[in-house]
Structure 1
Amino acid sequence: MRIEQVIFAPARGAFFYDDQAAIRAGREMDGVAYLGEPLTPGFGKVREPSRALAIGLVLADGAVVWGDMVSVQYSGAAGRDPVFDPGEIEAICRKRVVPRLIDMEAAAGPENAAFAFAYGDEGRLPLAVEYGVSQALLRAAAHSRRLTIAEVVAEALGLPAPDTPVPIFAQSGDDRHNAVDTMILKSVDVLPHGLINSAEKFGPAGTAFADYVRWVADRIGALGEPGYRPVLHFDVYGWIGLGISSDPREVARFIARLAESVPGYDLQIECPVDYGSRGATIENYATIVEMLDTLTDRARIVADEHCNTLADIEAFIAARAAHVIQIKTPDVGDLMDTARAIRAARGAGIGAYCGGTSAETDHSARACVHVALAARASMMLAKPGMGVNEGLTIVGNEQARTLAEIAARRG
């Protein structure tokens, strides 16, 4: 079954694109908006509605399969692609991608992506293009073969079709207390993120953050079902480095003390320090990991900033510069590269968090569920948006339906 036509449609992301540099510099919030001028090139405001662009492949049987091109919330930060411009992205697609897609055999799926994204004189495509087009190509293969995307991806990886769910991780956004209650009542596997992205939330020497960590653990005890022990995962956006020290040994000691304050829980700390470059981050994170392992077996470092593409992820894995790697799907690009990154991390004994961003769409979130299942991720993000219920519903239901369909085919 061949691809006969390519169409486009405007799409909305579920949250915002935020200028991380401006927020870190202390821009004041006014309700949901931020005041002041942006700092990162490409931003017209500190906070802008996340925009996406849907690409549809019209197949020979008349079916249309879609993928959504979109970027991450903190576009332009830590080596990421600039903030998403739908007009510019569509022009690039029409010039460089559409001619390659027409008349492709849809069933090939992953092989088609490799051809569509081949480098030319103009260099690599924007990663948002790879991300959305690969979703559509995998959906085309699944449709033409009457399979799930998960089965198509698993086959490409040389794995059997998945039969086990992946733990789901929910994030709170700025609703850092009510959202936690929702997560606990719904027995989420990993929680709460916490959005520790300001001096106020971190507190002097990390006191406000430490209080919040203990509050989350106490709240689980008060509201959770007997025996419920989720993994505690907090993203601190580099504030251990900003608020305490960037010395890897001091960072490890602070995290170890934090783990001791919540006995009975495993603790994951994402982006403890932003060292400004991939090389510096890898070098220092490797030291943090080594030091932390001598202090506790209940705390893990999660790499995020400067760990964007498959090549970045492979470099972090080789240096053992994290216990867990967030594979931030729009930053990786081609969804098959996300699958490869998950397998590389798992093969090295490192946790593979199939992540992404609140700025994504419902459609891209569902596609990522299939890749997380097929590649056997350690955990996956409930997305899009910052509302707990919506992300859990979209990701959780897609996972359940996919596993049920595969099980029915097995008989």
Structure 2
Amino acid sequence: MQIKDVLLAPGNGAFFYDDQEAIRSGATQDGFIYVGGPKTRGFKSIRVPASSLSVGLVLTDGAVVWGDMMNVQYSGAGGRDPLFDTDQISDLTSRVVAPRLLDVDASWFRNSCAKVFETVENRRLPLAVEYGVSQALLRAAAHLERKTMAEIICAEFRLQLPTCRVPIYCQSGDGREINVDKMILKVVDVLPHGLINSRQKFGTDGQTFVEFVKWVAARTREIGRPGYHPVLHFDVYGWIGLEIGLEPQRIADFICRVADTVPGFTLNIECPADFGSTQAQIENYAKIVSILDNRGSSARIVVDERCNTLEDIRLFAEAKAAHLVQIKTPDVGSIADTARAVLICKENRVGAYVGGSCTETDLSAQASVHISVATQADMMLAKPGMGVDEAFSIVGNEQNRLLAILNRRATENVG
């Protein structure tokens, strides 16, 4: 067996874990912190620094390959796993996962994942563990086969080697205006996220949000290079439903009005409402999608909350309950399931967006690039962090390096 030891190293995520329920309930900001007490189990304050745990696989040739475990920014919300606890995850990994890793053939990525991620007392391992360990296993297979991680995915899923880049989507965090300018100057494909996560940012009847959408479109025309025409993508964290109600017709009407204010742009609206359960989300999102399609609107619905696991993604895709599914990588678990999720979306002619969280790390972001390019996702998130420059550099450069290698492979094969 090619794995002879397992290392663990505590680390930092690139942003913070935030208590979404407390923020939705009206917690105010004082500088960078939120004032008030937490409402979600596990949080000792509304905003806490993101932690991570690196898992290193020591291979028989002496090489060490790594993957990073963490949870998403809004842990414990929308059916997600609870707040990441480094000590608990480290203990579980040492006791349960490490012995399994020493007993697999690391050159077979999917088989290794299946064996290592078997249930414990009929319960699935924490998704953060699956996510980080699968990254390390994918890197191990790539090292042993002397290939890129993308090539391993293509081989195991019987995909053609890709030649096309995947559009990159940047998120602004709270530094909206400055970061929008950065995105425009860097010619980002999809922008700006906007972090519309409170009543103050959404405004009465959504007017503050509408004005921001109009400003982003105008700013793009004002300072963007000739011919630059990004997709406008806004995450509203359920605030359309919270502000104007949960009637699908009213939500669709509002979204159409917003799209009409920015003619000529494709408008993505992520998480327009939270209907409280996966089944309710599917039923009501499907109605909103149908209304928008029947009107020929340029707006597209993106699902996030209540669509976490591979099975959730399958249900949303089959029901056409979104135009675009965010495959939120730490919530999906094994990175092999992220690849499966993209392929399920494609089978059902639903857009696949390989997302994730600002709380991730450089290693998890780079692994996500290989999955996105190998499966030819419709777009992928620039991550980690909220600073635009760093995330766009990490994801964009990794993609360009990967495509340079794959293009050389194609030339070698032709020769």
The corresponding residue for 1:294 is: 294
Give the conservation status (yes or no) of the 8 Å contact 1:6–1:98: yes
The Cα of 1:105 is off from its aligned counterpart by 2.2
The Cα of 1:142 is off from its aligned counterpart by 0.1
The corresponding residue for 1:27 is: 27
The corresponding residue for 1:379 is: 379
- Cα distance in 1 between the residues matched to 2:286 and 2:408: 44
Is 1:360 the counterpart of 2:391? The answer is: no
- Cα distance in 2 between the residues matched to 1:161 and 1:125: 32
The corresponding residue for 1:129 is: 129
The Cα of 1:370 is off from its aligned counterpart by 0.3
- Cα distance in 2 between the residues matched to 1:347 and 1:396: 27
Other structure's SS at 2:37 match: coil
The corresponding residue for 2:251 is: 251
Other structure's SS at 2:6 match: strand
Is 1:164 the counterpart of 2:171? The answer is: no
Other structure's SS at 2:197 match: coil
The AA in structure 2 aligned to 1:5 is: D
The corresponding residue for 2:68 is: 68
Give the conservation status (yes or no) of the 8 Å contact 2:128–2:331: yes
The Cα of 1:103 is off from its aligned counterpart by 4.0
The AA in structure 1 aligned to 2:164 is: T
The AA in structure 1 aligned to 2:292 is: L
Is 1:325 the counterpart of 2:321? The answer is: no
Share of identical aligned residues, percent? Answer: 57
The corresponding residue for 1:194 is: 194
The corresponding residue for 2:42 is: 42
The Cα of 1:245 is off from its aligned counterpart by 2.0
Say how many residue pairs are matched. Answer: 411
Give the conservation status (yes or no) of the 8 Å contact 1:9–1:53: yes
Superposition pairs for residues 11-410 of structure 1, below 5 Å? 11-410=11-410
Other structure's SS at 1:229 match: coil
After superposition, give the CA deviation of every residue in 1:324-356 in whole Å (9 maximum; x if it has no partner).
000000000000100000011012111100000
Give the conservation status (yes or no) of the 8 Å contact 2:42–2:82: yes
TM-score, structure 2 as length reference? 0.98
- Cα distance in 1 between the residues matched to 2:102 and 2:308: 30
Is 1:10 the counterpart of 2:15? The answer is: no
Give the conservation status (yes or no) of the 8 Å contact 2:359–2:384: yes
Give the conservation status (yes or no) of the 8 Å contact 2:104–2:115: no
Which runs of 5 or more structure 2 residues have no equivalent in the other structure? none
The Cα of 1:409 is off from its aligned counterpart by 2.4
The AA in structure 2 aligned to 1:371 is: I
Give the conservation status (yes or no) of the 8 Å contact 1:330–1:356: yes
- Cα distance in 1 between the residues matched to 2:329 and 2:155: 20
Other structure's SS at 2:359 match: coil
The AA in structure 2 aligned to 1:206 is: G
- Cα distance in 2 between the residues matched to 1:122 and 1:378: 35
After superposition, give the CA deviation of every residue in 1:101-149 in whole Å (9 maximum; x if it has no partner).
0142221122100110012324100000000000000000000000000
- Cα distance in 2 between the residues matched to 1:243 and 1:341: 32
- Cα distance in 2 between the residues matched to 1:218 and 1:6: 52
Other structure's SS at 1:213 match: helix
After superposition, give the CA deviation of every residue in 1:217-265 in whole Å (9 maximum; x if it has no partner).
0000001111111000000000001111211001001111111110110
- Cα distance in 2 between the residues matched to 1:62 and 1:162: 31
Divergent runs of 4+, >6 A: none
The Cα of 1:288 is off from its aligned counterpart by 0.4
- Cα distance in 2 between the residues matched to 1:207 and 1:409: 51
Give the conservation status (yes or no) of the 8 Å contact 1:69–1:133: yes
Give the conservation status (yes or no) of the 8 Å contact 2:259–2:297: no
- Cα distance in 2 between the residues matched to 1:160 and 1:292: 34
The AA in structure 2 aligned to 1:239 is: W
Please tell me the root mean square deviation across aligned C-alpha atoms, in Å: 0.9
- Cα distance in 2 between the residues matched to 1:407 and 1:291: 42
The Cα of 1:406 is off from its aligned counterpart by 1.6
Give the conservation status (yes or no) of the 8 Å contact 1:343–1:376: no
The AA in structure 1 aligned to 2:338 is: T
Other structure's SS at 1:76 match: coil
The AA in structure 1 aligned to 2:387 is: G
Give the conservation status (yes or no) of the 8 Å contact 1:253–1:295: no
Other structure's SS at 1:39 match: coil
More displaced, 291-300 or 142-151? 291-300
Give the conservation status (yes or no) of the 8 Å contact 1:256–1:296: no
- Cα distance in 2 between the residues matched to 1:247 and 1:32: 35
The AA in structure 1 aligned to 2:52 is: A
The Cα of 1:163 is off from its aligned counterpart by 1.3
The Cα of 1:275 is off from its aligned counterpart by 0.8
The Cα of 1:157 is off from its aligned counterpart by 1.1
Give the conservation status (yes or no) of the 8 Å contact 2:230–2:265: yes
The AA in structure 1 aligned to 2:20 is: Q
More displaced, 112-121 or 40-49? 112-121
- Cα distance in 2 between the residues matched to 1:338 and 1:103: 24
Other structure's SS at 1:147 match: coil
Give the conservation status (yes or no) of the 8 Å contact 2:180–2:192: yes
